[in-house]
Amino acid sequence: MDTLSLCAAESFDKVMEFYMPMVYRIAFTRLANRSDAEDVTQDVFLRYFRAGMIYTSEEHRKAWLIRCAVNCANSAAGSAWNRHRAGGDLLENMDDPNNQPAYSDCEENYEKIERRNAVLNAVMRLPDKYRTVIHLFYFEDMSVAQISAATGIGESTVKSQLSRARKMLKPLLIKYAGIEGEVDF
């Protein structure tokens, strides 16, 4: 993993290349729509570029980008357009092959990709607030304290949401991923 320069003269392209997948995943987890997640990702990096901040550490930069991604995704989810969408749009988007990670043609990766898609499908069926904490905890390897700082909610609330999300996720994983004996949060 390359480290990025903390000075103002750093390459914006390198920062984007390094953090774009993370920002996109956060947005997609919240919005469950590929084009909305792409819009949020662009907005986050536009804000990053305009802010022109100098970061004290790479963790500081990452935390700023995560917080901005969460805030922008929440704003997009609360927009008039998203509030008036039909409730079935979320689940319909999950069946759209354009919203799924790209498939590799290699046979040995097929089962791994199918399982990942099934887990993603189960996570995407959780309510919004639970999807966000699950994603940050398991996919971005953030601690409860880091999630609390990034989302602006208290640590005890993060712990409660993680606990509730795990309880909701277990039957979904059994249903969509077929991993009954392996689910142990």
pLDDT digits (tens, 9 = 90+) for 47-87: 998 888 888 888 889 989 999 999 999 888 876 665 555 44
- Pair (159, 83) in one structural domain: no
pLDDT digits (tens, 9 = 90+) for 8-32: 445 888 888 999 999 999 999 888 8
Domain boundary among 48, 73, 98: 98
- Pair (71, 143) in one structural domain: no
- Pair (92, 5) in one structural domain: yes
Domain boundary among 98, 118, 137: 98
More confident residue, 86 or 112: 112
Q: What is the pLDDT, as a whole number, of residue 90?
A: 46
- Pair (67, 131) in one structural domain: no
| Range of the structural domain that residue 110 is part of | 100-185
The CATH number linked to 155 is 1.10.10.10
- Cα-based distances in Å from 76 to 30, 134, 150: 9, 19, 17
Is 41:20 a contact under the CB 8 Å cutoff?
yes
Q: Give the DSSP letter of residue 97.
A: G
The CATH number linked to 45 is 1.10.1740.10
- Pair (32, 49) in one structural domain: yes
Q: What is the pLDDT, as a whole number, of residue 96?
A: 47
The residue length of the chain stands at 185
E-only strand ranges, the chain? none
- Pair (24, 80) in one structural domain: yes
Domain boundary among 43, 78, 98: 98
More confident residue, 112 or 141: 141
The total number of structural domains that make up the chain: 2
Task: Count Cβ atoms below 10 Å from residue 73 Cβ, excluding itself.
Answer: 26
- The contacts found for 121-125 with CB under 8 angstroms, 24 or more apart, are 121/94, 121/176, 121/177, 122/169, 122/172, 122/173, 122/175, 122/176, 122/177, 123/29, 123/169, 123/172, 124/29, 124/32, 124/90, 124/94, 125/91, 125/94, 125/172, 125/176
Is 24:41 a contact under the CB 8 Å cutoff?
yes
Q: Distance between CA atoms of 56 and 59, rounded to whole angstroms? A: 8
- Pair (23, 48) in one structural domain: yes
CA angle (83, 85, 89) in 5-degree steps: 125
- Pair (66, 112) in one structural domain: no
Q: Please give the model's pTM, rounded to 2 decimal places.
A: 0.62
pLDDT digits (tens, 9 = 90+) for 28-37: 988 888 899 9
Q: Distance between CA atoms of 131 and 176, rounded to whole angstroms? A: 16
- Pair (94, 68) in one structural domain: yes
pLDDT digits (tens, 9 = 90+) for 36-45: 999 999 999 9
